[in-house]
Amino acid sequence: MSLPYSSPYIHNASSVRRTMLQVQIAAFPALLAHIYFFGFGITIQWALAVVAWLVVETLLLKLRHRPVKPFISDMSGLITVTGIVFCIPPESPWWVVVSAVIFALVFGKHLYGGLGYNPFNPAMLGYAFVLISFPAEVTQWTLPAGISGHHLSLWESAQIIFTGQFPPGLVHLTGATPLNELQTALVNGASAAETWAGSRFNDPNLINGWFWVNVAFLIGGIWMLYSRAIRWQYPVGFLSALALMAALFHAIDPDTYAPVSFHLFSGGVMLAAFFIITDPVSSSTTPMGRLFYAIGIGVLVYVIRNWGSFPDGIAFAVLLMNLFVPLLDQYTQPRVMGHKGR
Amino acid sequence: MIEALLVFLVLALFFGMLLGYAKIKFKVEGNPVADQIDSILPQTQCGQCGFPGCRPYAEALAEGNSEVNLCVPGGHEVMIQISEITHREPKEMDASNPPPEEPMVAVIDEDICIGCVHCIKACPVDAIVGTTKMMHTVIEKECTGCELCVPVCPVDCIDMVPLMKTPQTWHWPEPNANSLENRS
Amino acid sequence: MSHLVEHKPLKHRFIEWLGRFYPMAKRLLYHFHGGVFPKYHKSLSNRYPLVEDFIPELLTLPLQQHLGVATEPLVSVGDRVLKYQRIADTDKGLSAPIHAPTSGTVIAIEPRILPHPSGLPGLCILLEPDGRDEAQALTLPETPTSPQSLKTLVHEAGIVGLGGAGFPTFAKIPDQRGCIDHLIINGAECEPFITCDDQLMKQRPEAIWRGAELVAQALGIPRVLCGIEDNKTEAIKTMTQAADGLPAAAQTHTDFQVRPVATVYPMGGQEQLTQELIDLEIPSDKHAIEVGVLMMNVATLAAIADAADEGKPLISRYVTVSGMGLNAPFNAHALLGTSFKALAEKADPKTPLTYPLIKGGPMMGISMHSNEVPVIKTTNCVLANPPEDVEPAMPCIRCGECMDACPIQLLPQQLYWHSRSHEYDKVKDLKVFDCIECGCCSFVCPSHIPLVQYYRHAKSEIVRIEKEEEAAELAKQRHEFRLARLEKAEKAKKARLKAKKDAVKKQAAQTTRQSGDASAAAAKAAAAAKKAAAAKSPQTDQTTDSSAPKTAREKAIEAAKARAQKAAKKADDSPTDNPAAPEDRAQVKPADKRKAAMEAAQKRAQAQKNASADSASDKAARPAATETESKRDKRQAAMAAAQKAARKRQQSSDNASENTDQSSRVDSKIPAASPKDKRQAAMAAAKKRALKAQQKAQAQKDTQAPSPDTED
């Protein structure tokens, strides 16, 4: 109960916790869509991740002799684990998500000094870690109920996650994602258009789960823009760069390169645009820097998708652009009022 | 095979020439280490390092003939800077002789001063004025607070006093209260 | 020509509507970057009528109420002063005189805690009002027609920038006519809670315009713009009406306009309002007047009008007394020197005022170290906001809110990191000195980092470091100069010596037979010369007194040394020793070391001289010195002797016999002095010893010293 030493003596009542909670709330539509299309697996993964977060972060704060309560209740860890949960397949084994969370918090956050000091996006670091370590488990995605013909119950999901045993008769529940299919097709020299036309995901009677989850992310993202939890430069820069790249190559060779709409609404594009690359700690701080940062990620994602060996490149694109942040900060400083030039 | 060898040969030549050019272009003159150290020393000329003034200490350090932790007025910060410049291990300061917490200046009690000129001779920066048998006084602006004049006074009339704090000389303190980060 | 509030364009209205849902949309309503929209709470103090003619029991008038140098009091304790009487002024630099706000008695001139963030005391004139409010006759000055006459008028009236900066107004006014294109009247008042300018614009719009007219006339300004935030609709109305009422003659030369501006903090900043009204960015390295802009606060202009038309100096001002801790906030026409507490108590505080009051608004104000601090010329608000739970500062999450809010587009978080890690050169590169400390960044920081304090600290650190570097450079130069001088002296000495040697050699060469004799003769001659000098010096001391030869003492010492070295056992004592100290001489054994005695004598002579100089008596008065004086002389002498003795004892470990000699001498001397003197001498001896021996328990020794039996 004391006045701050120096003015100002009033505040707009924002806080780190509030900002983080806004992000968490914005993720709810996507969570619901996820449950609808892919079953309850994600809720189990999320619960696992939250438990892992609480245990790991408490332990690390204690080890670093930092107060536990304010740094847990700032909810920044929650955002990290939510990002990871949305990236990994909902029916992957339990140790995948746990190891991703542990890696993200230990190596992505606390070893660098905790909240505010991590140069890399912790969620993407954790995801990249499991993607490289356990590629088989992480790329086998649960197929939308419309395709597999079975909506997994909570109990069935739990069985798969904790025992690895599929319920009898349900072996073909998981498979490659549309992006995987396209990647395979590209590697084999097949035409993107043909592959997509002949894909089982392109059935007009079916609803593309990934598409709708992306739409849900978009809705949450727009709300975050409105509530100023995130800045417009990230989604605008990222999505427009990705769209431009896709449009350009699709125009050059429609046979090989997938159309813009496919790129924008597949994989984790919207998740990345609004929830991943918007992490302010590991991104550039100047308005121009943010735009360049987001554009860089967009270009890299397209490059990795089409010419890399991984089906989706968001994690690597984000981590690569994190490296450029100090440089961007240095060279994109705005003009100060009353000064000419920088 | 031969192409590869050629390529590497050309590359090696090119980089060799680049290095040679850089050596000429970015040549460093003189002995900048002593100058660098001298520029960070507080220039109180107090001699507490055992050298007669700041410059000799800087030169001794540049030649590697002295310890990095001898500058008492400079304190820990200067010690760190010196060890960075000289690429030597930082050494803890002597805890028994801490630097003054606030800037001090010498003041002569003019009622007691007998005009012996001892302090004038001791002052490294000529900041004391007066003449034989006349009362002396310290030019506050030029006093470095080295305390060299204190022991030589035969009548103990020189005191070190902290500079007066006024709203004009006051500094905003650094914030630290309530910060969760600074707690350990 | 002025015009009524124009109808806002459609776009403007749309943005305002949008602002209801998305507040940040309001940033499109103005031209500068950033800005914040705090809760204004202006109606708190606007609801109640103006409090006037409140004379408190005591007025505290700090000698410095402005930027620049402090004034010096023109009155002394006990003086009765009249209202408007000038009580403090100086001609030593940038300042503004201070006038008595009411009639009364000066009861003290002493340091009191100032309304300054440091909470340090400064010299104040304490005036006890007698309640009669007697004014001295005011002389009506001529209407200023030139910049010089305006400057004189403004300076004489003690007017400074009343908006808060406190820069003496006369110094702001340019010397030439016609170099100002725009006079901007700052009626923005963007700080929350404060309504004193609003009140002034509603109550005395004519005075503001009259002041503007005077300034415009004197400086030949073609355009006068008054910027008022659009949340003060009533003030905009009264000001517009009053502008229309200006004399036609004034309106032919100058265009007077009221310009409503968007309500955003910090619209009232000089750079911000200038950019908003005339779309001009003041370059960072230039003053506003260099680009043809002069900005004055509404209160300053009203004060200028009062000074010109009535001859009234600045003795009071409008002050807002507001805050969440008060039941009945109000605006007051308060006398300078009224204490914050007296004003706040009048506003019926909800809880006792045990928390610090704030001078100024909540965004840029400063919290007081004492609630008794007075209202000064720059006090626009006394704010009583009870402290709330301060959220602890979290680490920066680089969210960039601060950057979006900064009205001058600095990078607050980069400034913060570098300030935190004490990389002040980088902080300076990031243009920390352009920071206006408006507080927008701290206001929006979700991590609750006290950013502004970091910048304030960094600024003062940079200034300190620069000063220190300057001082170090000066010290270095002086040291090098000294070394050069000593070297030169040494060389000169050597040269002299060499020349002498050469001369001797030459002589020796000439008289090749007895070289040894010649040199001996030379040495003898030199010694004789020295002796003669020594013999002369004490005499001159005795006789001429005030103009003693500079090196007499040194010569004497040298002579003594020479004698000691030679160990010439000449029986005849130097006759000059006796007259030097006749009263002591009797008690000292004649066989004592001459050297010490001589020094003691020197000391005594000097002490006498000092004492006589102290008492400021002439030579004639000296023989008939008062008892205290002689006592003091004795004490000084004894002290000096004791000190010398003690020092000798410490340093000459090889000469044990001398040690005993000296101490016995001291003992023998002491009975001659009074007990008090003895104690003094003993103390001094103890002190010296302690110092020389580098004993750590000096303090202890000092306390023991008063008991003489423990000494020697």
What pLDDT is stored for residue C608 in this prediction?
54
Residue C357 and residue C368: Cα distance in Å, rounded? 6
Q: What average pLDDT score do residues A264-281 get?
A: 88
Report the relative pairing of strands C182-187 and B104-108 from DSSP bridges.
unpaired
- Asked if C197 and C233 count as a contact pair (C-beta separation under 8 A), the reply is no
Q: What average pLDDT score do residues A168-194 get?
A: 66
State the pLDDT confidence band at C694, using cuts at 50, 70 and 90. Answer: very low
Residue B149 and residue A298: Cα distance in Å, rounded? 70
| pLDDT tens sequence across C15-67 | 888 888 888 888 888 989 999 999 999 988 888 888 887 899 999 999 988 88
Categorise residue A331: left if φ over 0, alpha if ψ from -120 to 50, beta otherwise: alpha
Two tokens at A49? 């991740």
Nearest by CB to residue B178, choosing from C392, C457, C478, is C392
Contact residues on chain A for C414, CB-CB shorter than 8 A: 285, 329, 333
Contact residues on chain A for B173, CB-CB shorter than 8 A: 5
| pLDDT tens sequence across C473-492 | 888 888 888 888 889 999 99
Q: C448 vs A15: CB contact, 8 Å cut-off?
A: yes
Contact residues on chain C for A283, CB-CB shorter than 8 A: 398
Mutant choice from B38, B40, B43, B139 vs C, greatest count of C C-beta within 10 A: B43
Two tokens at C632? 């003091």
Say if residue C346's pLDDT is above 60. yes
| pLDDT tens sequence across C229-258 | 999 999 999 999 999 888 888 888 889 999
Q: B114 vs C607: CB contact, 8 Å cut-off?
A: yes
B144, HSE (Cβ side, Cα atoms, 13 Å): 30
| pLDDT tens sequence across C508-548 | 887 766 555 555 555 566 666 666 555 554 444 444 444 44
What pLDDT is stored for residue C680 in this prediction?
57
- Asked if C601 and C588 count as a contact pair (C-beta separation under 8 A), the reply is no
Q: What average pLDDT score do residues A186-201 get?
A: 64
Q: What average pLDDT score do residues B92-117 get?
A: 79
What pLDDT is stored for residue C568 in this prediction?
42
Confirm or reject contact between A162 and chain C (CB < 8 A): no
Q: Kindly report the CA angle at C546 between C545 and C548, in degrees rounded to 5? A: 70
Residues A137 and A31 in one domain: yes
Listed range (A269-283, C401-415, C488-502, C621-635) with the worst mean pLDDT: C621-635
For residue C57, which amino acid is it? E
What pLDDT is stored for residue C533 in this prediction?
56
Two tokens at C23? 């507040």
Q: What average pLDDT score do residues C301-306 get?
A: 94
Say if residue A200's pLDDT is above 70. no
| pLDDT tens sequence across C162-217 | 987 788 999 999 998 888 999 999 999 999 999 999 999 999 999 999 999 999 99
Interface of B with A in 133-172 (CB under 8 A): 172
Residues A149 and A55 in one domain: yes
Min Cα separation A10/chain B (Å): 16
Q: What whole-number percentage of chain A has pLDDT above 90?
A: 45
Confirm or reject contact between A13 and chain C (CB < 8 A): no
Write the CA distances from A95 to A134, A139, A156, A162, A185, integer angstroms: 10, 15, 17, 9, 31
- Asked if A38 and A209 count as a contact pair (C-beta separation under 8 A), the reply is yes
Nearest CA in chain B to C607: B114
Residue C533 and residue C289: Cα distance in Å, rounded? 69
Q: What average pLDDT score do residues C105-127 get?
A: 92
Residue B80 and residue C327: Cα distance in Å, rounded? 56
Residues 6+ apart with CB under 8 A from C570: none
- The partner residues of C168 in beta bridges, in order of sequence, read C160
Residue A115 and residue C597: Cα distance in Å, rounded? 77
Two tokens at A16? 């780190």
Integer-rounded Cα radius of gyration of chain A: 21
Residue indicated by tokens 């989706």: A312
What pLDDT is stored for residue C196 in this prediction?
93
What pLDDT is stored for residue A30 in this prediction?
92
- Asked if A84 and A104 count as a contact pair (C-beta separation under 8 A), the reply is yes
Residue A8 is assigned to a structural domain of this protein: no
- Give the total number of structural domains in chain C: 3
Two tokens at C106? 């000066």
DSSP H or E stretch at residue C530: helix C515-544
Integer-rounded Cα radius of gyration of chain C: 38
Residue A160 and residue A140: Cα distance in Å, rounded? 13
What pLDDT is stored for residue C526 in this prediction?
62
Residues A131 and A255 in one domain: no
Residue A185 is assigned to a structural domain of this protein: no
Domain of A219 in residue numbering reads as 190-332
What pLDDT is stored for residue C583 in this prediction?
43
What pLDDT is stored for residue A99 in this prediction?
95
Mutant choice from C358, C394, C437 vs A, greatest count of A C-beta within 10 A: C394
- The partner residues of B138 in beta bridges, in order of sequence, read B128
Q: C120 vs B165: CB contact, 8 Å cut-off?
A: yes
- The partner residues of C374 in beta bridges, in order of sequence, read C339
Residues 6+ apart with CB under 8 A from A55: none
Q: C643 vs B155: CB contact, 8 Å cut-off?
A: yes
Q: C387 vs A340: CB contact, 8 Å cut-off?
A: no
Mutant choice from C445, C476, C555 vs B, greatest count of B C-beta within 10 A: C476
- Of C256, C276, C310, the residue at which a domain comes to its end is C310
Residues A27 and A126 in one domain: yes
- Asked if C379 and C319 count as a contact pair (C-beta separation under 8 A), the reply is yes
Say if residue B142's pLDDT is above 60. yes
Q: What average pLDDT score do residues A11-30 get?
A: 91
If one counts every other C-beta atom within 10 angstroms of the C-beta of residue A104, the result is 32
Residues A109 and A62 in one domain: yes
Nearest by CB to residue A16, choosing from C397, C400, C450, is C397
If one counts every other C-beta atom within 10 angstroms of the C-beta of residue B92, the result is 8
Q: A66 vs B173: CB contact, 8 Å cut-off?
A: no
For residue C345, which amino acid is it? E
Looking at every residue in chain B, the average pLDDT score rounds to: 82
Residue C260 is assigned to a structural domain of this protein: yes
Min Cα separation B178/chain A (Å): 10
Residues A70 and A99 in one domain: yes
What pLDDT is stored for residue C186 in this prediction?
93
Q: What average pLDDT score do residues C409-436 get?
A: 91
Assign A158 to helix, strand or coil: helix
Confirm or reject contact between C359 and chain B (CB < 8 A): no
Concatenate the DSSP letters of all residues of C231-254 into one string: T-HHHHHHHHHHHHTS-HHHHHH-
State the pLDDT confidence band at A306, using cuts at 50, 70 and 90. Answer: confident
Residues A249 and A156 in one domain: no
Min Cα separation B41/chain C (Å): 8
Contact residues on chain A for C437, CB-CB shorter than 8 A: 7
Residues A171 and A194 in one domain: no
Q: B180 vs A67: CB contact, 8 Å cut-off?
A: yes
Write the CA distances from C373 to C87, C121, C315, integer angstroms: 19, 10, 17
Q: B181 vs C460: CB contact, 8 Å cut-off?
A: no
Mutant choice from C275, C398, C445 vs A, greatest count of A C-beta within 10 A: C398
Q: What whole-number percentage of chain C has pLDDT above 90?
A: 46
For residue B48, which amino acid is it? Q
Contact residues on chain B for C392, CB-CB shorter than 8 A: 178-180
Q: B173 vs A5: CB contact, 8 Å cut-off?
A: yes
Q: Which of A177, A273, A166, A159 is nearest to A220 (CA)?
A: A273
Residues A227 and A106 in one domain: no
- H-only helix segments in chain A: 16-26, 28-38, 41-63, 68-72, 76-87, 94-108, 122-133, 135-139, 145-148, 154-163, 178-188, 192-198, 209-226, 233-252, 260-264, 269-271, 287-307, 314-331
Residue C656 and residue C274: Cα distance in Å, rounded? 84
Mutant choice from A1, A3, A5, A62 vs B, greatest count of B C-beta within 10 A: A5
Say if residue C586's pLDDT is above 50. no
- Give the total number of structural domains in chain A: 2
Residues A169 and A229 in one domain: no
Residue C580 and residue C603: Cα distance in Å, rounded? 11
Residue A7 is assigned to a structural domain of this protein: no
**3.30.70.20, 1.20.59.20, 1.10.3720.10, 3.40.50.300: CATH of B104-162:** 3.30.70.20
If one counts every other C-beta atom within 10 angstroms of the C-beta of residue A10, the result is 21
Residues C471 and C605 in one domain: no
DSSP H or E stretch at residue B39: helix B32-40
Say if residue C642's pLDDT is above 60. no
State the pLDDT confidence band at A174, using cuts at 50, 70 and 90. Answer: low
Two tokens at A80? 């990290």
If one counts every other C-beta atom within 10 angstroms of the C-beta of residue A132, the result is 12
Say if residue A228's pLDDT is above 60. yes
Residues A158 and A51 in one domain: yes
Min Cα separation C449/chain A (Å): 10
Contact residues on chain C for B174, CB-CB shorter than 8 A: 453-454, 457
Domain of C416 in residue numbering reads as 393-506
Write the CA distances from A241 to A183, A249, A279, A291, B159, integer angstroms: 20, 12, 19, 10, 71
Q: What average pLDDT score do residues C157-163 get?
A: 91
Q: What whole-number percentage of chain C has pLDDT above 70?
A: 71
SS3 sequence of C279-342: CCCCCCCCCHHHHCEEEEEHHHHHHHHHHHHHCCCCCEEEEEEECCCECCCEEEEEECCCEHHH
Nearest by CB to residue B172, choosing from C394, C460, C554, is C460
CATH number at residue C292: 3.40.50.11540
Concatenate the DSSP letters of all residues of C379-394 into one string: --EEE-----PPPPBP
Beta strands of C1-140 (E only): which ranges? 59-62, 72-73, 80-81, 86-89, 98-99, 104-113, 121-129
What pLDDT is stored for residue A69 in this prediction?
87
**3.30.2030.30, 3.40.50.10490, 1.10.15.40, 2.30.110.10: CATH of B32-86:** 1.10.15.40
What pLDDT is stored for residue C711 in this prediction?
36
Residues A166 and A197 in one domain: no
Residue B48 and residue C220: Cα distance in Å, rounded? 64
What pLDDT is stored for residue A112 in this prediction?
92
* CA-based end-to-end distance of chain A: 42
Residue A304 is assigned to a structural domain of this protein: yes
What pLDDT is stored for residue B17 in this prediction?
94
Cα-Cα-Cα-Cα dihedral of A42, A44, A50, A56, to 10°?
-110
Confirm or reject contact between C496 and chain A (CB < 8 A): no
Residues C155 and C296 in one domain: yes
Interface of C with B in 592-651 (CB under 8 A): 603, 606-607, 609-610, 614, 639-640, 643-644, 647
Q: Which of the pair, A122 or C686, is modelled with greater confidence? A: A122
Inter-chain CB pairs, A–B, below 8 Å = 13
Nearest by CB to residue A65, choosing from B173, B177, B184, is B184
Q: Which of the pair, B85 or A240, is modelled with greater confidence? A: A240
Residue C439 is assigned to a structural domain of this protein: yes
Listed range (A167-176, C126-135, C515-524) with the worst mean pLDDT: C515-524
Confirm or reject contact between C693 and chain B (CB < 8 A): no
Mutant choice from A109, A225, A277, A337 vs C, greatest count of C C-beta within 10 A: A337
Write the CA distances from C352 to C323, C341, C347, C592, integer angstroms: 13, 11, 12, 77
Residue B4 and residue C559: Cα distance in Å, rounded? 92
- Asked if A238 and A277 count as a contact pair (C-beta separation under 8 A), the reply is yes
* Biggest distance spanned by C-alpha atoms of chain C: 121
SS3 sequence of C38-54: CCCCCHHHHCCCCECCC
Nearest by CB to residue A5, choosing from B175, B180, B183, is B175
A315, HSE (Cβ side, Cα atoms, 13 Å): 23
Residue indicated by tokens 């190559």: A249
- Asked if C705 and C683 count as a contact pair (C-beta separation under 8 A), the reply is yes
Confirm or reject contact between A341 and chain B (CB < 8 A): no
Min Cα separation A295/chain B (Å): 34
Write the CA distances from C471 to B41, B54, B164, integer angstroms: 12, 14, 17
Min Cα separation A19/chain C (Å): 8
| pLDDT tens sequence across C252-278 | 888 999 999 999 999 999 999 999 999
Concatenate the DSSP letters of all residues of B136-167 into one string: PEE-TTT-----THHHH-TT--EEEEEPPP-T
Confirm or reject contact between A142 and chain C (CB < 8 A): no
Q: What whole-number percentage of chain B has pLDDT above 70?
A: 92
- CATH topology of B32-86 equal to that of B104-162? no
| pLDDT tens sequence across C612-641 | 444 444 444 444 444 444 445 555 555 555
Contact residues on chain A for C359, CB-CB shorter than 8 A: none
In chain B, what are the domain boundaries? 32-86, 104-162
State the pLDDT confidence band at C505, using cuts at 50, 70 and 90. Answer: confident
